[in-house]
DNA sequence: ACTGATACTGATAATCACTCTCAGTTACGG
DNA sequence: CCGTAACTGAGAGTGATTATCAGTATCAGT
C-alpha cells in the first residue's frame, strides 16, 4: 500500500454541495484510507469520526465524488469497490497478489483515427485496468 | 494478439464439465442472442428451450463460461451484464447511445517494459473498454 | 445391468449492494 | 436571525447473486 505521493490527492466536493460534518467524515475517511476500498470499509471508518452516519449518506457522498472524478468505481473487481483518483487522465495497475491499486499516467489506447477508420466508432473516453504483480509483491 | 475471425464464435464449456440439456440451452441462448445481455434476458430466452431451467443453473453456467473467457462481465455498465467474447485478445467498444458492444482487436496497452521500468509492475493481463458512439448512431 | 461416487439440478431461502421514502434537521445566502 | 432548499438517518424495499439441500443424472469400474 505504500506509494510515495508528493501532494495528497485532492478529494473535493462539487461546488454547489453543502459542507456537512457527515460529508467531511466520508471525505476524510477516503483521504486517510487506502487507495482502493469497499463501501462497507469506508462506512466503518467514517463512522469512527461520525458515529451516527447513515449508510445512505455514504452512497450519496460517493455519488457526488464520482461526478467530480475524485473517485472511480473499480471495474472488473468484486463489486462495491472504489478507487481514490488523482486528477487527470490515468489508469490503474491492480496487483493480483495483494490487491493494491496504483495509478499510472501511461496510456496507449487505440487512436481516435484508427477506431473511426476501422469501426466507424467515435470514442469519448476509455477505461484501462492492468492486472499483474506490483513491485513489493515481486520482491517478496 | 489480433485474431481475425472466419468462423462463428465458439461458446464452449470447460473440458471437465458435463454437457447437460440445461447448459446446452444456456449456451445456445447466448450463441443465438445479441452480443451483450443481462442475466434476466438470458434466463428468459434459455427457458424457451428448457422451461424447467432454474436461475441458479444459469448463474452456474455463466461462471463456467467466464472461466474459459467465452463471456466477460461488462465493466462499468449497469450490473448484471455480460458480453459474449470471441477467442483471442480483444477489447470492447461500448456505444453510449444505443448500448451495443462491439469488439476490436485494436489494442495499445502500455508495454510490459514500460510498466516494469516506471512502476516495477509485472503486467499479466488488462482490460480496455472504450466508450463513445457507434457507426449506426453517428449516422442517425 | 448394478453400484457407488460424484456432478448436476431446481426451488427456495438467505445475503448482499444499493435505492427509495419520508419526516425531521441543518447550512447558508440574504 | 430567518427562510428554504439541501441534507440527514432510519429503515423498508428492490433486484442481483449466492448458498443450501434433497433429489436426479451420469460415469467408471465391475
Tens digits of residue pLDDT in A44-70: 999 999 999 999 999 999 999 988 888
pLDDT band at residue A8 using 50, 70 and 90 as cut-offs: very low
Q: What is the pLDDT of residue A83?
A: 79
Q: CB–CB of B73 and A73 under 8 A?
A: no
Assess whether A27 (CB) lies less than 7 A from strand D: no
CB B39 within 8 A of CB B80: yes
Considering the domain architecture, whether residues A99 and A63 belong to the same structural domain is answered as: no
| Structural domain contains residue A59 | yes
Q: What is the pLDDT of residue B85?
A: 72
Residues of chain B whose pLDDT is less than 50? Answer: 1-10, 15, 77-78
Considering the domain architecture, whether residues B98 and B75 belong to the same structural domain is answered as: no
pLDDT digits (tens, 9 = 90+) for A65-95: 988 888 877 755 445 677 777 777 778 888 8
| Structural domain contains residue B97 | yes
Q: What is the pLDDT of residue A118?
A: 92
| Structural domain contains residue A11 | yes
| Structural domain contains residue A137 | yes
CB B36 within 8 A of CB B81: yes
Interatomic CA distance for residues B35 and B92, integer angstroms: 11
Considering the domain architecture, whether residues A97 and A82 belong to the same structural domain is answered as: no
Closest CA–CA distance from residue B97 to any residue of chain A (Å): 11
Q: What is the pLDDT of residue B132?
A: 84
Distance of CA B63 to the CA centre of its chain: 12
Residue from the list B79, B107, B119 with its beta carbon closest to the beta carbon of A135: B119
Q: What is the pLDDT of residue B11?
A: 56
Considering the domain architecture, whether residues B59 and B48 belong to the same structural domain is answered as: yes
Considering the domain architecture, whether residues A94 and A134 belong to the same structural domain is answered as: yes
Considering the domain architecture, whether residues A100 and A135 belong to the same structural domain is answered as: yes
Considering the domain architecture, whether residues B78 and B93 belong to the same structural domain is answered as: no
State the CB neighbour count (10 A cutoff) for residue B97.
12
Considering the domain architecture, whether residues B57 and B83 belong to the same structural domain is answered as: yes
Amino acid at each position: 500500500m505504500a506509494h510515495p505521493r508528493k501532494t495528497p490527492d485532492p478529494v473535493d466536493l462539487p461546488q454547489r454541495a453543502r459542507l456537512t460534518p457527515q460529508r467531511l467524515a466520508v471525505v476524510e475517511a477516503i483521504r486517510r484510507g487506502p487507495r482502493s476500498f469497499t463501501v462497507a470499509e469506508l462506512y466503518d471508518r467514517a463512522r469512527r469520526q461520525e458515529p451516527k452516519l447513515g449508510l445512505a449518506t455514504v452512497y450519496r457522498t460517493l455519488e457526488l465524488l464520482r461526478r467530480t472524478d475524485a473517485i472511480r468505481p473499480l471495474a472488473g473487481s468484486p463489486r462495491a469497490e472504489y478507487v481514490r483518483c488523482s486528477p487527470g487522465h490515468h489508469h490503474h495497475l491492480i496487483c493480483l497478489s495483494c490487491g493494491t491499486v496504483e495509478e499510472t499516467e501511461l496510456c496507449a489506447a487505440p487512436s481516435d483515427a484508427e477506431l473511426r477508420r476501422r469501426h466507424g466508432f467515435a470514442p469519448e473516453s476509455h477505461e484501462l485496468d492492468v492486472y499483474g504483480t506490483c513491485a513489493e509483491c515481486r520482491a517478496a
